[in-house]
Amino acid sequence: MRVAYLGPAGTFGEEAAIRFAPEAERLPFPSHAAVAAAVESGMADLGVVAIENSINGSVAETLDILIHETELRIQAELVLPIVHNLVVKPATNADMVKVIYSHPQALGQCRKFIERCFPKAQLEAALSTTEAVQLALRRDNDGAAIATARAAELYGAEVLARGIQDAANNVTRFLVLGHKTPPPTGRDRTSIAFTFAEDQPGALAGVLNEFAKHGVNCTKIESRPTREAFGEYVFLIDFEGHKDEPEMAALLEQVATHCATLKVFGSYPRWQ
């Protein structure tokens, strides 16, 4: 099996791919859109994409791929803790560090640690946490990177400090995209997107009432601007249940009567 992910190796995307299918061949791609295209074209069997982080919110690129660009199905989800580490060239001590490299998002998620422990360090942006390790290694023992432990291992760097992220509960939810829908397990989640014909004050309430009538729990609701006009939205809902269960199929039919468009991204076992 071949699993596509957002590379390069050593980033959290690879960690999710390893966690999902440890034995699979892993193929890094430069964007989430490329991951989806790799699966659609047969270059990979499955693709792992980030959908939501507890600190940063939804990954808009992935939502837009699901809404507009792909007919792939969500087959599984994973929720992984995001652990940032301070990574250095071997023989670098904390008091030697003058420059800290990372992706701006990782630098932002470790701001308190940096302010406390390295108040004078110069912060430098990198395109990924893995590139940050490479940039730090090019310096003469005065550079550090914020990156995964695996990136340190891959490039012969050392972890100087572990778990330096400001928020204790920093987790990312990943989706596995493929061509199939797994059968119901009794503990599933379904993800859908829908639009309304025009701006109707009661339209969204109408949809949510269908869920309420069936006693179905919506685990997430969100709106994304349509690509056509700012202020017009696609609505996204995750709910507990599987589209192939008879009651859920009936619910989805009733939801569809309220909507101009309705797309089911997939039904898949909930992460435990």
Whether 142 and 124 have beta carbons less than 8 Å apart is answered as: no
Element (H, E) at 228: none
Among positions 117-136, residues that touch a copy of itself (CB under 8 A) are: 123-127, 131
Cα dihedral 66→68→69→71 (10° resolution): 60
Least distance between a copy of itself and beta carbon 1 (Å): 28
Interface pick for a copy of itself out of 205, 249, 250, 260 (rule CB under 8 A): 205
Residue closer to a copy of itself (CB basis): 94 or 212: 212
174 tagged catalytic = yes
Q: Across the chain, where does the E strand assignment appear?
A: 2-6, 25-29, 46-53, 57-58, 73-81, 85-88, 99-102, 122-125, 143-147, 158-161, 171-178, 188-195, 218-225, 233-240, 261-269
Cα dihedral 258→261→267→272 (10° resolution): -70
DSSP annotation of 38 reads: H
Interface pick for a copy of itself out of 139, 224, 245, 256 (rule CB under 8 A): 224
Q: Which stretch binds a copy of itself (CB under 8 A): 12-20, 40-48, 147-155, 221-229?
A: 221-229
Residue closer to a copy of itself (CB basis): 40 or 166: 166
Whole-number Cα distances in Å, 119 to 88, 103, 205: 17, 18, 50
Residue 260 binds a copy of itself (CB under 8 A)? no
Least distance between a copy of itself and beta carbon 125 (Å): 4
Longest dimension (CA), the chain: 65
Q: Across 209-260, where does the E strand assignment appear?
A: 218-225, 233-240
Least distance between a copy of itself and beta carbon 2 (Å): 24
226 tagged catalytic = no
Catalytic residue of the set 130, 172, 181, 190: 172
Binding mask 40-79 for a copy of itself (x = CB under 8 A): ------------x-xxxxx-xx-x---------------x
Whether 18 and 7 have beta carbons less than 8 Å apart is answered as: no
Interface pick for a copy of itself out of 5, 12, 20, 235 (rule CB under 8 A): 235
Catalytic residue of the set 12, 20, 118, 174: 174
Residue 225 binds a copy of itself (CB under 8 A)? yes
Interface pick for a copy of itself out of 19, 111, 112, 179 (rule CB under 8 A): 111
Distance of alpha carbon 198 from alpha carbon 191, whole angstroms: 22
Binding mask 158-177 for a copy of itself (x = CB under 8 A): ---------x-x-x-x----
Residue 206 binds a copy of itself (CB under 8 A)? yes
Instruction: Determine whether 90 is exposed, middle or buried from the number of CB atoms within 10 Å of its CB (0-12, 13-18, 19+).
Output: exposed
Known catalytic residues are: 172, 174
Positions that interact with a copy of itself (CB under 8 A): 31, 52, 54-58, 60-61, 63, 79, 103-104, 107-108, 111, 123-127, 131, 167, 169, 171, 173, 199, 201-202, 204-206, 208-209, 211-212, 215-225, 227, 229-231, 233, 235
